[in-house]
Chains A and B, each alone.
Chain A
């Protein structure tokens, strides 16, 4: 039987989509406040560093960043196909490549904190 990576890609897409739908609007509002100079207390360096040092927070941050990255990569692939771009292999390589690099970078920075 031929092996397929579709179930893996689809599970990352679906869970990433759910995470993005639940969290991204609220997170964007929090970082927007920081942009306007009214950063909430959690974004203070000491507080955020302390928060991100805990293993539970690392797990949450890893899940949010990487699942959303894989979701975006997979959905951009189908969106670009819908917009008429037929270079699927190149689009998939670039999108999943960025998602894979982002996943590795997330692990690296989380371990560094």
Chain B
């Protein structure tokens, strides 16, 4: 019999591969890489905007490179997954009480989803997405 019968070796780098929920968790965690790099891309746009019109137009043109178009699709896919899991976890992070009653978790999550849709539509409206011909 082993000296430590309840301790089994688990790989530090592949532990998440045995369960679907752990794989999804790690995919969700790596969305932070896409968030970080995308925001650095926005920062480069800010730099170009601060420089002059030529630099800014060059930046917009650069966004059309095949690499950055592909990167954008990856950002959208991974951040959609991230947003859904973030809002799904909000009932665990915030407990809302009205009077004697605890607001059900699904209502807190639903409120976040509705706010997300409204904010996204507002961004599209302010940016002029709906009037692109």
- A residues less than 8 Å from B30 (CB atoms): 79
Counting CB contacts under 8 A, is B24 at the interface? no
Q: How many residues of B contact A (CB 8 A)?
A: 55
- Which of A18, A30, A64 meets B129, CB within 8 Å? A30
Counting CB contacts under 8 A, is B11 at the interface? yes
Q: A26-B120, A78-B29 are in contact. Are A40 and B49 (CB under 8 A)?
A: no
Q: A22-B83, A24-B38, A52-B49 are in contact. Are A43 and B32 (CB under 8 A)?
A: no
B64 touches A102 (CB 8 A): no
- A residues less than 8 Å from B13 (CB atoms): 83-84
| A41-62 interface with B by 8 A CB criterion | 41-43, 45, 48-49, 52, 61
- B residues less than 8 Å from A34 (CB atoms): 60, 63-64
A22 touches B46 (CB 8 A): no
| Chain B interface helix/strand/loop/mixed | helix
Counting CB contacts under 8 A, is A87 at the interface? no
Counting CB contacts under 8 A, is A105 at the interface? yes
- A residues less than 8 Å from B75 (CB atoms): 24, 28
Counting CB contacts under 8 A, is B53 at the interface? yes
Assembly CA distance A26 to B129 (angstroms): 10
| B1-36 interface with A by 8 A CB criterion | 11-14, 16, 26, 29-30, 32-33, 35-36
Assembly CA distance A38 to B128 (angstroms): 11
Shortest CB–CB separation between residue A91 and chain B, in angstroms? 12
A105 touches B47 (CB 8 A): yes
Q: A32-B72, A33-B132, A45-B53 are in contact. Are A76 and B120 (CB under 8 A)?
A: no
